Amino acid sequence: MSKLTIAILSALLAHSGTAVAASHEHHDMSSHQTRLSAATYSSVGVVKAINTQDAKVQVAHEPIAELGWPAMNMWFALKTPLPRDIKVGDHVRFEMMQESNKQWVIVKIGRK
């Protein structure tokens, strides 16, 4: 084989390897995005109000560094009914996630 043929074959092999790596990289990124959308975040706060009819609870939560959120009062939907022992004024620890409709939902809550 000539030097030119070897150079062309080497270039083609290097390019095809880059394309394969790029396709794997894209696949890895999409699975990463799926994991992020299902991420849960933990916080603590005080129950300020309960709306049992709409399955919502208002919590004055501490800052949530992972989300860049300051401390604030927020209404959250509840994934499951609020435990009976939690009342307005209780200090709670909770886990939340953002659903596909962008609504923040408490998936786990308990007294602190």
* CATH number for 55: 2.40.50.320
Burial class (CB in 10 A: 0-12, 13-18, 19+), 55: middle
Residues 102 and 50 in one domain: yes
Q: Please tell me whether residues 73 and 46 are part of one structural domain.
A: yes
45 shares its domain with 95: yes
- Bridge-partner residues for 106, per DSSP? 78, 96
Q: Look up the domain containing 50 and give its range.
A: 40-111
pLDDT in tens, 22-34: 434 443 333 333 3
Calpha distance 8→95 (Å, rounded):
56
With a cut of 50, list the residues of the chain below it in pLDDT.
16-36
Residue type, 65: A
Residue 8: the pLDDT is 57
Same domain, 57 and 6: no
At 67, is the secondary structure helix, strand, or coil? helix
49 and 32 in a common domain: no
DSSP string, 55-76: TEEEEEEPPBGGGTBPSEEEEE
